[in-house]
Structure 1
Amino acid sequence: MRKSYRVKKEKDFQRVFQKGVSCANRKFVVYRLDKPGQKHFRVGLSVGKKIGNAVERNAVKRKIRACLYDMREKIEPEIDFIIIARPAISGLDSKEVYANLEHVLKLAKIIKTK
């Protein structure tokens, strides 16, 4: 994902945490904040040290980014959201990560429904 699609600054993260709405399943927690007038969505990722060492955490982040890239057409454009990976995510393959991520994004109403 390009840099313009990322929530990078600490103040942006804090704004989403404080003013946003959260939703979760067993593998992910998602915070969502509506931003009317924004051209496209922005996403922030958080993968904590409970998941494993840096190699494992980066692998989880790559899987999440790949899933988001595949879902980008379905995602509402005028939102910022943060995805927090829970420790149960380690050891899952890409298809399982995709299924769990899609589930939590539907619960949070980030993915457009037909």
Structure 2
Amino acid sequence: MEKTYRLAKREDFNKVYRYGKSMANHQFVLYYLPQPKIEQFRLGISVSKKVGNAVVRNRLRRMIKEIVRLNKEQLAVQYDYILIVRKPAADMDYAQMEKSIFHVIRKASLYKRNESTKR
């Protein structure tokens, strides 16, 4: 995932936590905050030590980044997102994780469909 799509600073995370809205399912919590000044979305990922050791946490982060990278045109722009990973996500494979992430994004009404997939 390119650098322009990253939410990295502590103050940005705190702003999204404090002023943003949240939506959750069993595996993920999504915090989101509109940012009209930016032209694309920014994503931050948070994985607690409760989820697993460093190998597990980094694997989850890499999988989430790849899922978002491949589907970035389907996410609403001009938003900051924070995706918090819950413990049940550690046992998921790629397809299940992708489905769960987009479930929570659709639940928050932040999923845009491509023109070719509209029916």
TM-score (normalised: structure 2): 0.92
Question: Where do residues 1-80 of structure 1 align in structure 2 (5 Å cutoff)?
Answer: 1-80=1-80
Task: Provide the rounded CA distance (Å) in 2 between the counterparts of 1:107 and 1:37.
Answer: 24
Letter of the aligned partner of 1:48 in structure 2? S
Residue 40 of structure 1, CA deviation: 0.5
Show the counterpart of 1:88. 88
2:14 and 2:50 map into 1 onto residues whose CA distance is 21
Match of 1:110 in 2: 110
Q: Which structure is larger by alpha-carbon Rg, 1 or 2? A: 2
Instruction: Quote the Cα distance in structure 2 between the aligned partners of 1:31 and 1:91.
Output: 22
* 1:64-113 Cα shifts (integer Å, max 9, x gaps): 11110121011111100100000010121000000000100111122115
CA distance in 1, matches of 2:37, 2:9: 20
The 1-side partners of 2:22 and 2:98 are apart by 19
Structure 2: unaligned runs, 5 residues or longer? none
Q: 1:5 corresponds to which letter in structure 2?
A: Y
Post-superposition offset of 1:37: 3.3
Residue identity opposite 1:2 in structure 2: E
Secondary structure, aligned partner of 2:84? strand
Segments ≥4 residues shifted beyond 2 Å: none
**Alpha-carbon distance in structure 1 between the residues aligned to 2:110 and 2:80:** 10
Distance across 2 between alignment mates of 1:99 and 1:5? 21
Structure-2 separation of matches of 1:30 and 1:110 = 11
Distance 1:29 1:102 in 2: 12
**How many equivalent pairs are there?**
114
